[in-house]
Structure 1
Amino acid sequence: MTDVVVDKNDLAGSLPSTEKEPVDPIEEKNQENQPAAAEGESAEGGVYRYIKGDLFTSEIFKVEIQNLPKYIGFNDLKKFLNKHGINPHKIKLFSKQMFAFVTFKNQEERDKAMKAVHGMQWKSKVLSVRLAKPKADPILKKRKQEEEAEGGQPGAKRAAGSQEVEEDEEEPLNIQIANAVTPLWNVPYEEQLKRKEKEVEGVLQKLTREIGNNNKAMLPWLFVQKEKYNKMCCPLEAIRPSPVQTEYRNKCEFVIGVGADGEDKTVGFRLGKYKGGSCAVVSPSETTHVSSEAKRVVQGFQQFIRTTPYAVYSPETYEGHWRQLTVRTTRTKQTLAIVFFNPQKLQEEEIEELKRNLRQYFAEGEGKESGITSLYFVRMGQRTSSGTEDLPCEHVTGEEWIHEELLGLKFRISPHSFFQTNTPAAEVLYSAVGEWAQLDQDSTVLDVCCGTGTIGISLAKRVKKVIGIELCQEAVEDAKANAEANGLTNVEFHCGKAEDVFPTVLNAVVSPNVTAIVDPPRAGLHSKVILAIRRAEHLKRLVYVACNAKAAMNNFIDLCRAPSNRVKGAPFRPVRAMAVDLFPQTMHCETILLFERVDYSSNTDTQTTET
């Protein structure tokens, strides 16, 4: 994905049902795309101003599908629409209310969908489709509400585009930003760990209920497990703490905007989200999780951009240039920085001059004290709001890579490659994964979503073969270089989507002892990967590393559900779980689950597994 569409509704979140204003498609099919202005506001200056610009937004081609069947998911709706030749740009599903908002890239596709879906029957439900109004711009909506609350008078001068600063009522900025980015900063660490462990316990209790609902054959086993493990399907081992609790992040993404204190061209973190009506930025200087090396880069870069004539980018107006700064650091004292810049209508000569100035400033000038050893420049288009990992990086100065040491091994890291953000805690995590995988010299390890190859490479000397799969080409190149640098010859890596590559790789493995280790993004694995794992009966053990166990719940359920026409192969069941804290001062943690294949031939589906 090289160009991500800026869509205010993406930034704003889902439109609540109380705000939808549908129009009958039969009577109003040929009406204007633009919504009528709300009472007392002009279309040009109101909360829908963004749809009047030159930029694409699918919000003007938006419909509401009503009377959807119960219990359908996002993928069900997407497949249903695709089956009927409908290609939506974006879907927002409200399954409990049985309706969805669907947007399209143009009026032709929208009208085609309305004609095809309106009146169609799906699972005994007759669907209806209506046009829907765009989502109001959150910043402008909040500003309008504030002005109305003040009796219709324009509000006082606000910092960062709508945040009123009332010193008598608001907490100091350093407290506000700490609450925003490290919400547990004032909670004792032992208490943080207890909260995270309790959160994972809740996930396992929910998984236990879901397994019972989706695989009746496991109910006897589940009954025994629940009695032994506090309503959980498997034992939850004590959470493993992070060796360091402060300055642990080796990668930080800093936004560039107007400071909450009114200072222009501020580099740091946002106090809130755009959908909350805020663009205010606060310096990371007093945050506890950012390293001193990264803070030094932020300070030097902020000093540089304040000397330039280029403005910060505004997500409200789409104007301006400076957008983001990403800083990656290592324990080997190397620092990589990526500058994200929107060229707008600047000439190529101006861009090249800017890069020369960046190079001079950080390689020879005042910015040299920042300690940057590798500097990259990324051009972001008007339509780019997220997915920056896929944008081309232009090398400006310094080394091409930074290098890290982990578990006595050396790793090369490219600008966009994934590497766990807390290196000391990652060592704890990977050591636990290696222990749980129960490997020997005859084992073959499938390392899915392998990033720079850290997990597979750390286990390679203990097994016969490691096969890694990773979507990011940069990371795959890093992984290959890392295997070579560590003298490993039994490791291979494949680039591509896991759902495309994994089934082929898995079917080619003939080893009698196959273990899969998956460390997917927050949303979890594609259902095709889960189905391939289920079909591969020779795969008996799977270690799942989840950075968001709640988001991965569907993966867990599919691994354990009863066999069916869709889900082939004997199910797995969870036999061991543990949380590892990679993100002190926040509620996030990594969760490891060990799944083992149910062996019906020995009737182990009704027995418990001791650990």
Structure 2
Amino acid sequence: MTDVIDAPVAGTPLSKEEEEEERAADQTDDVEDSLKSEPSAEAAGEVSSDPSKYRYIKGDLFTSEIYKVEIQNLPKFIGFNDLKKFLAKHGVNSHKIKLFSKQTFSFVTFKNEEERDKAMKMVHGMQWKGQVLSVKLAKPKADPILRKRRQEEGDGAGGQPPSKRQEVDEEQQPFSVQIANVVTPLWNVAYEEQLRRKEKEVEGVLQRLAKEIGSTNKAMLPWLFAQKGKYNRMCCPLEAIRPSPSQTEYRNKCEFLISMGANGEDKTIGFRLGKYKGGSCAVVGPAETMHVSAEAKRVVSEFQKFIRTTPYSVYSPETYEGHWKQLTVRTTRTKQAMAMVFFNPQKLEEEELSALKSSLGKYFTEGEGKDSGVTSLYFVREGQRTSPNPEDLPCELVAGEGHIYEELLGLKFRISPHSFFQVNTGAAELLYSAVGEWALLNQESTVLDVCCGTGTIGISLAKRVKKVIGIELCQEAVEDAKVNAKLNGLSNIEFHCGKAEDVFLNVLNAVVSPNITAIVDPPRAGLHSKVILAIRRAEHLKRLVYVACNAKAAMNNFVDLCRAPSNRVRGAPFRPVKAMAVDLFPQTMHVEMLLLLERVDYSSKETSDKQKDSTTTETH
């Protein structure tokens, strides 16, 4: 994934779920999140006399705020997606976009100086909808935690008194309640009510999709009118939500920050009480959280004991000093556990680092941590990061096996440190079973598994079809997928590594089967528009099962699959057949949505004429 938008999206090749309700995100992402919510320092009238508020850009972690521009004189009434498509159309590879539509300007950040300078040359002076655009360098946003501290100091010196909202005594609640409200916000809502709310959420998505299809494909209006009348203004029937088999301790992957504890204890591993942009760095341990497994809690406990025996401090996002930063724990039904500890070496000598890694390995193989259940232990250097992708960080195995293995639907899967695997294994079985049911497969079918991760969906379907072709960005995941195919005795499956938008068209063109079904399970931002356009052009592809971990963010994909043909979107459209929610994330509002789409048959002359009448040239 290349862009991060204002709605929660899965970011970069961090792999999808990914991290559906991960609250202990990397500090870089926290800073990045905080930078897109308000105008820059310059736009907000902040003075640059306090350089400490901008010191994070000189730190050793990647931040696209270094490469930030302001685009001015934008057309009125454009939306985020209009701007995103406009930039992509002209070859501008943005990292993040923040649009201030009322002020007709936007901030755009880039991954490096080359991309930023290319964008400035390309866009400056360009005309768009009658407006001549101008581009200039923009200042980075002030560090939110330092900004908040300055505000608090001002309040203490006779500034504005705290608001009533600030006076609400949430802070008087036990830490267990405070952290539950952050990581499992529906913890005190009956599960039946949670399911009802999630189903209602998906219902709203389908009602909105009905409106979007009606406005982008007039030929579908008669069909759409009938659908909305039968299905409560939705574009297709919504099947009953499938609940998670486990409502507690269901997560097989968690990311924990290492920081000062909210109770004042140093070197604490847990979840952050608030967001960095809210001025909070304190964490609370997971001992009383309901979604973390007992196995993961045991690993956290032993790691905390170990780091407290070392002389190294926790990493501070305020001063950019310190070492211990993050712990990622993955567990499986097979009672294996992988732990990845993120450590910033600062200026430590290699000999000292080697000694630390050696003592870490011994602690978990011979010392007190040997009964923690850790079977795979990695040491990750956080040092200099020139990329936002965590896969680019040096990752060293210090104890145990290089992988862990999970069982799902009677199959065995190998998992590497950076590979994607659904965080709720039991619910993932329900999800993949439903995908298999809806795909209507037979021994002549070819399945295209797009964004396949470790190959779970394709492998689970392989014995029922002629061939499975998987496409995945993460190299580690592709290697796992190939191993997983062999582990399960499958020879009719192949995997291709690369961005879906770069690989998909060639793979699709090479398939000669008349019976093709595509299954897409993309990151939260959805599929790249190039993939959608390729799907539309491949008219021998008649059926598509879309697995959306954020249906609202995927709305553009749904609309483009269904919109009328045009100069930009060629090939007969799809239309939604049915949808269903599967609860992979109990105690939160997150939910997976399945949407089955089938190609519209425009073989009849009457329908074809209607479609031609509704076809218009796309202008965005």
| TM-score, normalised with respect to structure 2 | 0.87
In the TM superposition, residue 380 of structure 1 has moved relative to its aligned partner by 1.2
Contact 2:60 2:384 in 1 (8 A): no
Mean alpha-carbon deviation: is it higher for 106-115 or for 418-427?
A: 106-115
Q: Which residue of 1 aligns with 2:147?
A: 141
**Structure 1: where are the runs of 5+ without partners?**
24-34, 156-163
Q: Which residue of 2 aligns with 1:12?
A: 34
Question: Aligned equivalents of 1:474 and 1:167: distance in 2?
Answer: 46
Question: Aligned equivalents of 1:352 and 1:238: distance in 2?
Answer: 54
Matched position secondary structure for 1:429: helix
Matched position secondary structure for 1:506: helix
Distance 1:598 1:86, change over 3 A: closer
Q: How do residues 292-311 of structure 1 correspond to structure 2 at under 5 angstroms?
A: 292-311=294-313
Distance 1:402 1:52, change over 3 A: closer
Question: Aligned equivalents of 2:225 and 2:454: distance in 1?
Answer: 41
Q: Which residue of 1 aligns with 2:245?
A: 243
In the TM superposition, residue 13 of structure 1 has moved relative to its aligned partner by 3.4
The answer to whether structure 1 residue 493 and structure 2 residue 515 are counterparts is no
Matched position secondary structure for 1:284: coil
Question: Aligned equivalents of 1:476 and 1:180: distance in 2?
Answer: 34
Contact 1:44 1:52 in 2 (8 A): no
Mean alpha-carbon deviation: is it higher for 458-467 or for 75-84?
A: 75-84
Q: Which amino acid aligns with 2:535?
A: I
Deviations 1:388-422 (A, max 9, x none): 24434211111121111111111111111111110
Distance 1:237 1:97, change over 3 A: farther
The answer to whether structure 1 residue 43 and structure 2 residue 50 are counterparts is yes
**Structure 2: where are the runs of 5+ without partners?**
1-11, 15-25, 611-620
Contact 1:598 1:604 in 2 (8 A): no
Q: Which residue of 2 aligns with 1:348?
A: 350
Deviations 1:328-383 (A, max 9, x none): 11111111111111111111111111110111000000011211011111111243
Question: Aligned equivalents of 1:603 and 1:342: distance in 2?
Answer: 66
In the TM superposition, residue 87 of structure 1 has moved relative to its aligned partner by 6.8
The answer to whether structure 1 residue 424 and structure 2 residue 426 are counterparts is yes
Distance 1:586 1:169, change over 3 A: closer
Matched position secondary structure for 1:545: strand
Q: Which has the higher contact order (CA 8 A, sep 6+)?
A: 2
The answer to whether structure 1 residue 65 and structure 2 residue 67 are counterparts is no
The answer to whether structure 1 residue 127 and structure 2 residue 133 are counterparts is yes
Q: Which amino acid aligns with 1:597?
A: R
| TM-score, normalised with respect to structure 1 | 0.88
Matched pairs, number: 582
The answer to whether structure 1 residue 273 and structure 2 residue 275 are counterparts is yes
Mean alpha-carbon deviation: is it higher for 139-148 or for 191-200?
A: 139-148
Q: Which amino acid aligns with 1:91?
A: I
* Aligned with residue 205 of structure 1, among 197, 204, 207: 207
In the TM superposition, residue 169 of structure 1 has moved relative to its aligned partner by 5.3
Distance 1:119 1:471, change over 3 A: closer
Contact 1:249 1:290 in 2 (8 A): yes
Contact 2:516 2:542 in 1 (8 A): yes
In the TM superposition, residue 202 of structure 1 has moved relative to its aligned partner by 0.5
Distance 1:109 1:216, change over 3 A: closer
Contact 2:69 2:135 in 1 (8 A): yes
The answer to whether structure 1 residue 102 and structure 2 residue 112 are counterparts is no
Contact 1:6 1:383 in 2 (8 A): no
Distance 1:461 1:79, change over 3 A: closer
Deviations 1:448-502 (A, max 9, x none): 1111111111111111111111111111111111111111111111111111111
Distance 1:466 1:20, change over 3 A: same
Q: Which residue of 1 aligns with 2:443?
A: 441
Deviations 1:109-141 (A, max 9, x none): 978876875554322013344564431211011
Mean alpha-carbon deviation: is it higher for 316-325 or for 570-579?
A: 316-325
Q: How do residues 503-542 of structure 1 correspond to structure 2 at under 5 angstroms?
A: 503-542=505-544
Contact 2:187 2:587 in 1 (8 A): yes
Question: Aligned equivalents of 1:496 and 1:137: distance in 2?
Answer: 35
Q: Which residue of 1 aligns with 2:399?
A: 397
Q: Which residue of 1 aligns with 2:3?
A: none
- Over aligned residue pairs, what C-alpha RMSD do you find? 3.1
Q: Which amino acid aligns with 2:186?
A: L
* Aligned with residue 413 of structure 2, among 407, 411, 414: 411
Q: Which amino acid aligns with 2:554?
A: A
Question: Aligned equivalents of 2:543 and 2:228: distance in 1?
Answer: 22
Question: Aligned equivalents of 2:119 and 2:442: distance in 1?
Answer: 55
Distance 1:119 1:234, change over 3 A: same
Matched position secondary structure for 2:309: coil
Contact 1:66 1:129 in 2 (8 A): yes
In the TM superposition, residue 16 of structure 1 has moved relative to its aligned partner by 2.7
Matched position secondary structure for 2:223: helix
Question: Aligned equivalents of 1:220 and 1:130: distance in 2?
Answer: 49
In the TM superposition, residue 58 of structure 1 has moved relative to its aligned partner by 5.5
The answer to whether structure 1 residue 150 and structure 2 residue 156 are counterparts is yes
Mean alpha-carbon deviation: is it higher for 242-251 or for 84-93?
A: 84-93
Q: Which amino acid aligns with 1:354?
A: L
Matched position secondary structure for 2:219: helix
Deviations 1:233-267 (A, max 9, x none): 00001000001100000011111111111111110
Contact 2:402 2:416 in 1 (8 A): yes
* Aligned with residue 218 of structure 1, among 217, 220, 223: 220
Distance 1:473 1:203, change over 3 A: same
Question: Aligned equivalents of 1:109 and 1:483: distance in 2?
Answer: 39
Q: Which residue of 1 aligns with 2:360?
A: 358
Contact 2:76 2:104 in 1 (8 A): yes
Question: Aligned equivalents of 1:591 and 1:170: distance in 2?
Answer: 38
Q: Which amino acid aligns with 2:238?
A: L
Contact 1:90 1:102 in 2 (8 A): yes
Q: Which amino acid aligns with 2:595?
A: L
In the TM superposition, residue 387 of structure 1 has moved relative to its aligned partner by 3.0
Q: Which amino acid aligns with 1:466?
A: V
Contact 2:244 2:586 in 1 (8 A): yes
Question: Aligned equivalents of 2:599 and 2:253: distance in 1?
Answer: 37
Q: Which residue of 2 aligns with 1:161?
A: none
Distance 1:604 1:338, change over 3 A: farther
Distance 1:331 1:96, change over 3 A: farther
Contact 2:325 2:344 in 1 (8 A): yes
Contact 1:6 1:384 in 2 (8 A): no
Contact 2:63 2:388 in 1 (8 A): no
Question: Aligned equivalents of 2:56 and 2:198: distance in 1?
Answer: 41
In the TM superposition, residue 95 of structure 1 has moved relative to its aligned partner by 3.9
Contact 1:417 1:472 in 2 (8 A): yes
Question: Aligned equivalents of 1:168 and 1:594: distance in 2?
Answer: 43
Mean alpha-carbon deviation: is it higher for 54-63 or for 587-596?
A: 54-63
Question: Aligned equivalents of 1:106 and 1:427: distance in 2?
Answer: 40
Distance 1:406 1:586, change over 3 A: same
Distance 1:54 1:388, change over 3 A: closer
Q: Which amino acid aligns with 2:131?
A: K
The answer to whether structure 1 residue 313 and structure 2 residue 328 are counterparts is no
Q: Which amino acid aligns with 2:100?
A: F
Question: Aligned equivalents of 1:86 and 1:560: distance in 2?
Answer: 26
Contact 1:22 1:130 in 2 (8 A): no
Question: Aligned equivalents of 2:606 and 2:27: distance in 1?
Answer: 50
Contact 2:449 2:471 in 1 (8 A): yes
In the TM superposition, residue 276 of structure 1 has moved relative to its aligned partner by 1.5
Question: Aligned equivalents of 1:569 and 1:105: distance in 2?
Answer: 34
Matched position secondary structure for 1:600: coil
Q: Which amino acid aligns with 1:427?
A: E
Q: Which residue of 1 aligns with 2:374?
A: 372
Question: Aligned equivalents of 1:406 and 1:391: distance in 2?
Answer: 29
Distance 1:532 1:318, change over 3 A: same
Question: Aligned equivalents of 1:472 and 1:419: distance in 2?
Answer: 12
Q: Which residue of 1 aligns with 2:259?
A: 257
Q: Which residue of 2 aligns with 1:27?
A: none
